[in-house]
Amino acid sequence: MIYPTARAVYLIAAAAPVALLIGVLLPGGWVIALAWVAVVLVLIIADALLTPPLRRGEFVVAAEGAVDVGDMVDLSPAYERSGQRIAAEFAADVSAPLEPAEPSGVGLRYVAVRRGRAVIRRLWARRRGPLGFAWRQVSREADLPIVVTPDLRPVREQGMRQYLRSNQQGLRMRLDSGDGSEFQALTDFQPGMERRSIDWKASARHFALLAREYRTERDNAIVFAVDSGRAMCDPVGGVPRVDRAVSAALLAAFVALKSGDRVRLYSFAARPQVDSGTQAGTRSFAELHRSAAEIDYLAEESNYTLSLVTLDRKLERRSLIVLFTEFTDPTSAELMMTAAARLLKRHRVLFVLFEDVELEAIRTARPEHGDDVVRANVAHTLLRERRIVIERLKRLGIDVIEARPDDLPLALVERYVGMKERA
């Protein structure tokens, strides 16, 4: 395709005021402006003919297929024909979650602002003619996906610091032997062991104090179910709850895979959304990471009944279901508890909730005006209703974790390790 450059457009546009001025000073002389336009049109056509056409070529994009949130994506497109690159200027139509970065003069740079799947829908290449009056342009449908995955670097660094700290204190994040529920062997009772581990019958037979030693069970089934509905899309600490939930779930999933357990990532809102299937072994963590990028932000109410019943039907064995969710009123919490109670018939359920730091700040802030007192009372009422729901969940036999947003990933890992050892 042939398009005029900005220079040609300005020259044609300049013909209108010139024609008006000539028409005022010299009636009948406005025809000169028409001749001016004709000359510019001829120059455009001549410049287009002097420019080699951009046909029978292919676009080449150097962007990676998967990036982390916050990373810079440089498409660096090129146009090649017969193995040779043709100098040209480029443009691209890229969908969210990629947004244009500051212009750098090299390539096409975008920033991954959130998780999701971006698509490079179309690419354009153009080159200017030697006279500067015309562009030769070509475009192609690209349909190239770029998966934006959660950024685990902050959580991974925090987890490594915690692991090193536990080693310095003589602690272990996971005990392969000495705890758990699977009997391993009898050993001599040592100071510091729990008295309940003593096997009195064996001790009587051997005339020595013996204790039972257990080992942590492996090959357990863990399901990380992430609610991606309207309530989970609200930010807490400046980051959407669903993003924090995904990061915490992936960190716990990696620990579970390293421990020999089977892991499944599942998300839902008004209906089931993403299901990674059961994964085993640390090599399958990449599949969980890619599945996490598909968890979308949905402005719709979560249907716990449909989503959790669907999950229950997919599970063939008893599992630990770790449910990341949020509730805003007692009515939605009632539906949530009813659906969770059904899961307790076959599975063990762990609810993961973020502390509402904003409501806590409003409740504890020193009031300056009368409106501050009203807001503090409303925040206190909402927090009280929240505590009531949490206590009801615990009475149903559901484990609950409620932690500050930045502390939740490690709190979840520690709770999982504790539940695994005391299974």
In this structure, the number of other CB atoms found within 10 A of the CB of residue 366 comes to 6
**Closest-CA residue to 65 (of 293, 295, 298, 296):** 293
d(Cα 97, Cα 146) in Å, to the nearest integer? Answer: 9
Indicate the length of the chain as a whole number: 423
pLDDT score for 186: 76
d(Cα 415, Cα 401) in Å, to the nearest integer? Answer: 8
d(Cα 363, Cα 388) in Å, to the nearest integer? Answer: 17
pLDDT score for 188: 82
Burial class (CB in 10 A: 0-12, 13-18, 19+), 22: middle
DSSP 8-state symbol, 323? E
For each of the chain's 423 residues, which pLDDT tens digit applies? 888 898 888 988 888 887 778 777 777 776 777 888 888 889 989 988 888 888 788 888 887 888 888 788 888 888 888 878 888 888 888 888 888 886 654 558 888 888 888 889 999 999 898 989 999 988 888 888 888 888 777 666 665 555 455 445 444 444 444 444 455 667 787 777 777 778 888 888 888 888 877 655 667 899 999 999 999 988 888 888 999 999 899 989 988 888 889 999 999 999 999 999 999 988 898 899 889 988 988 889 999 999 999 999 999 999 999 999 998 778 878 989 999 999 999 999 999 999 988 889 999 999 888 899 999 999 999 999 999 999 999 999 999 999 999 889 889 988 988 887 665
pLDDT score for 376: 92
In this structure, the number of other CB atoms found within 10 A of the CB of residue 9 comes to 14
pLDDT score for 229: 92
Evaluate whether 349 touches 415 at the Cβ level (below 8 Å).
no
Query: What radius of gyration do the chain's Cα atoms show?
Result: 32
Q: If DSSP codes are grouped into helix, strand and coil, which group holds residue 175?
A: coil
Evaluate whether 314 touches 278 at the Cβ level (below 8 Å).
no
pTM above 0.85, yes or no: no
pLDDT score for 267: 96
Tokens encoding 327? 């509730």
pLDDT score for 75: 86
Give 347's contacts (C-beta < 8 A, 6+ positions apart). 312, 315, 318, 319, 320, 321
d(Cα 324, Cα 243) in Å, to the nearest integer? Answer: 11
